[in-house]
Amino acid sequence: MRLVSLDPAPASPGPRALDPREPTAALVLPHGLLPLDVLNRHAGSDWPTTLAGLLDTGRFEALAAWVRGAPAALADAPVATDARPGPLLHHPRKILGVGLNYAEHAGDLGEQRPSEPATFMKPATTIVGPGDEVLVPPESERTTGEGELGLVIGRRAHRVAEAEALDVVAGVTTIVDMTAEDILQRNPRFLTRAKSFDTFFSFGPELVTLDEVGDLATLEVRTTIDGAVHRANTVAHMMFSPAMLVSFFSHVMTLEPGDVISTGTPGAVVLRDGCTVGCVIERVGSLANPVRDLKLRP
């Protein structure tokens, strides 16, 4: 199953004003996007109509199973012709990040390979979606963007074993994570500030269930700039695999439905005013965001 969250408003300059309500979710079908409220009317079903609702009620997996077995019911369903995907979730409980998860990227930054995951958290106010502007803040002279594989947690997980960790993952998505790198380089204790400026976390548009993706280790994750690949690497070359990261975090804090884990980047690119930064992951999708430097265009 592939699912997006529909943006209720067109893209506008500046930080996104996140609605306190979660957006309507829609199935991604070959002939268009099918909002879940339209599906309910068409099929006489009663699915929760938001991704957050599906996850919180424990019905996400049931919907995915129903979609796999109901192609006839979906073939003639009316699709939205002018819908625009936005961020998958507006208010995840936790956004968890991992730094230096590819050895080559650690080498780029002159860092030693960590012996355990280097982790951080981000606030929901960093969230933007596909096509939204990423803003380089006036406090930073060197902000970078990083394409990453994202995991969305589907079930509550507490001290889950690595062998069972992917069972609690609802699906994967594309992420572009931003860092005010110059602030971080001044002092590693400034990590939270360097990661937390408005617009510093873009994710979506599609949440893709693991059965659609196949073996995560074979996925190639790419950071792009103006449509060209800046750096790419496969998940198999992560120092800490997606399953290990889910297990690791669950031994620190209880993971809840809708939590997001950003698994690290193959390489970061410096953001310039007017460029477009993106993430492309085969079998998952692509994400792109224009960049505005507030020192040049307030």
- Residues 95-137 have pLDDT tens digits of 999 998 997 754 554 556 778 999 999 999 999 999 999 999 9
Low-confidence ranges of the chain (pLDDT < 50): 106, 109
Q: What is the pLDDT of residue 110?
A: 55
**Model pTM score:** 0.95
The answer for residues whose C-beta is within 8 angstroms of residue 174's C-beta and 6 or more apart is 147, 148, 149, 150, 203, 204, 205, 206, 279, 280, 281, 284, 285, 286, 287
Q: What is the pLDDT of residue 75?
A: 87
- In angstroms, how far is the first alpha carbon of the chain from the final one? 41
Domains recognised in the chain with CATH numbers: 2-75 (no CATH), 95-293 (3.90.850.10)
Contact 293, 142 (CB under 8 A): no
Q: What is the pLDDT of residue 115?
A: 86
SS (H, E, C) 208-241: ECHHHHCCHHHCEEEEEECCEEEEEEEHHHECCC
Length of the chain: 298
Q: What is the pLDDT of residue 82?
A: 83
Q: What is the pLDDT of residue 14?
A: 67
What distance in Å separates the CA atoms of residue 32 and residue 37, rounded to the nearest whole number?
15
The answer for residues whose C-beta is within 8 angstroms of residue 130's C-beta and 6 or more apart is 85, 86, 202, 204, 205, 287, 288, 289
Grouping H, G, I as helix, E, B as strand and the rest as coil, residue 293 is strand
Query: Which residue type, as a one-letter code, is found at position 197?
Result: F
Query: Which residue type, as a one-letter code, is found at position 136?
Result: V
The two tokens of residue 272 are 């310039």
